Amino acid sequence: MKKPLVSPGTPQGLSRRTLLGGAAAASTLVSLKVHAESSPGHASRAPTSAPRGKPFELEEATVSELQAAMTSGKFTAHGLAERYLARIQELDQTGDSALHSVIELNPDALALAAALDEERKAKGPRGPLHGIPVLIKDNIATADKMQTTAGSLALVGAVPSRDSFVVERLRAAGAVILGKTNLSEWANFRSTHSSSGWSGRGGQCRNPYALDRTPSGSSSGSGAATAANFCAVSVGTETDGSIVSPSAACSLVGLKPTVGLVSRSGIIPLSHSQDSAGPMTRTVADAAALLGVLAGVDSGDAITATSKGHAQPDYTRFLDPNGLKGARIGVPRERFFGYHPATDALIERALELMKAQGAIIVDEANIPMAAKLDEPEMEVLLYEFKADIEAYLAGLGTRTRLKTLADLIRFNEENRSTELPWFGQELFHQSVEKGPLTDKKYRKALEACRKLSREQGIDAVMAKHKLDALVAPTQAPPGLIDLVNGDHWLGSSSTPAAVAGYPSITVPAGYVAGLPVGLSFIGRAWSEPTLLRLAFAYEQASKLRRPPGFAPTADLRQAHT
């Protein structure tokens, strides 16, 4: 989750919500260790120089390009995995310039890739992800030699008994899971003063565009790793902003699907009413290809039954470079603009480009009730986190002795030097005091969230103006990492779609002093095809993404570009 815009009338107690959310060569690369073995201060040292890596032949390679290279015989899945693993080892793990975006590598990655090469020879590819290297967030369960911990040392050794549904889908599609990415611990729902991208297990993740800047949370590692070309695509999770925020901070495309389109079974939860997994990629086409693999009905997550008739096996068919022509785009200026002039300037430029592509821009299409969402949302999250995390811990059975949120609080207190060196667990303490989900206070808050965000919010403004989508800045450029004081946020636009359970997609909108800024397209439930069409058309007309330079700090001599 992300930090909300604090404006007049916003309860100050809610001002912090950055949640959510083989071969010998492999054995060498798997020497990547739990980052908590380093002292807590190690990750906070300011980088002194950018890493000097060799030119990377797969830089910015798309899924379709990698697939074509394997089809032609130029590369094999094994060769792709080797190259990405070597790049991770070179740029992610050692020295003052290390990103700390990957928390653990898959020791079976090269063997799995080799097996997929043999299968390709014998039967042909399974689909667009056959042999494609993928990284997944460390709250997504794998029943293999890797851990699933949400970044916390509390869950080290508590290996799930089965893969998450998302991982089952990836494996069935032939994807090669290279490893797990670092994240804001517990999807950043632990402290009111946390630093996005920090976990007890992984240390502080950094932004590859400026190493002293936040990668944002909580899917920080997925964002930084994908931007740095450590994989072809990655999977993140979001409760409120945790896909779109790090994607914007790392100049990526991040798609937060409608709640129910992608299963959450086997994913360490925060909130069953808002959680979703989704693609984090360098292009809209890659996001569409990955979403088609992730989406599907799962008997282990009842809400996915609502996706029947809405889920698509192939979202790439909706991509249209002329997709903005005739589209009605609403601009919700109230609350979502005005907190950072340089960001606003980039979005104004984006609106002019969309208009030039034939879009009809409907200005002042403000989202009613958006300012009233923060308080009931927090109430819902505090209740649901306690209930959902305890249900997850119960599902681990004898693989962990920790069964309650109170147990997690006690574990952190007993391991203060590694789990609480920089910030506390205030949200844990607030959540543990909540009662069951039958409480009237919870039911009232949940009803308010749904009504305010849906029929009185996004649905109302889109119906009034007959809109195809809303657009707004995803957030301001990434701020400085501050382990002492925590994150500093100016504003963002993720909350209405997050609370409603509706989809949103962010795409690169430019740079301020070399720091990425994203533009979000927001729609009604199940409008992923429309959002992908609009985002693709904007991306193709703007072509703004550029790979990161691993600069020690932002170049303050630059203007917005």
Give, for 280, the enclosing helix (H) or strand (E): strand 276-281
| Burial environment of residue 483 by CB neighbours within 10 A (0 to 12, 13 to 18, 19 or more) | middle
Which residues neighbour 530 within 8 Å (Cβ) at sequence distance 6 or greater?
Answer: 318, 468, 469, 523
Residue written as token pair 């800024």? 517
Give the helix ranges, DSSP H, for 295-373. Answer: 333-336, 341-356
| Burial environment of residue 275 by CB neighbours within 10 A (0 to 12, 13 to 18, 19 or more) | buried
| Burial environment of residue 308 by CB neighbours within 10 A (0 to 12, 13 to 18, 19 or more) | exposed
Contact 186, 154 (CB under 8 A): no
Single-letter code of the amino acid located at 202:
G
Bridge partners of residue 334, in order along the sequence:
none
Of 491, 85, 132, 497, give the one whose Cα is nearest residue 281. Answer: 132
Contact 537, 324 (CB under 8 A): yes
Which residues neighbour 7 within 8 Å (Cβ) at sequence distance 6 or greater?
Answer: 335, 371
The beta strand positions in 363-496, using DSSP E, are 469-473
Of 373, 375, 380, 374, give the one whose Cα is nearest residue 442. Answer: 380
Question: How many residues in total does the chain contain?
Answer: 561
| Burial environment of residue 92 by CB neighbours within 10 A (0 to 12, 13 to 18, 19 or more) | buried
Of residues 2, 137, 180, 386, which has the active-site annotation?
A: 137
The C-alpha atoms of residue 120 and residue 71 are separated, in whole angstroms, by 9
Task: Provide φ and ψ at 237, rounded to 5°.
Answer: -135, 155
The C-alpha atoms of residue 10 and residue 373 are separated, in whole angstroms, by 9
Residue written as token pair 């209740």? 383
Single-letter code of the amino acid located at 136:
I
The C-alpha atoms of residue 224 and residue 217 are separated, in whole angstroms, by 10
In the residue annotation, 220 being an active-site residue is answered as no
Q: Give CA separation, 445 vs 82, 249, 306, 377, 448, in Å.
A: 49, 31, 23, 7, 5
The C-alpha atoms of residue 519 and residue 507 are separated, in whole angstroms, by 5
In the residue annotation, 263 being an active-site residue is answered as no
In the residue annotation, 451 being an active-site residue is answered as no
Contact 278, 136 (CB under 8 A): no
Q: Give CA separation, 361 vs 284, 329, 349, 493, in Å.
A: 22, 5, 13, 18
Helix, strand or coil, per DSSP, at residue 551: strand
Helix, strand or coil, per DSSP, at residue 418: helix
Give the helix ranges, DSSP H, for 216-332. Answer: 220-227, 244-249, 284-294
Of residues 242, 263, 431, 453, which has the active-site annotation?
A: 242
Of residues 199, 218, 245, 431, which has the active-site annotation?
A: 218
What are 356's two structure tokens?
A: 């030039």
- Residues belonging to the active site: 137, 218, 242
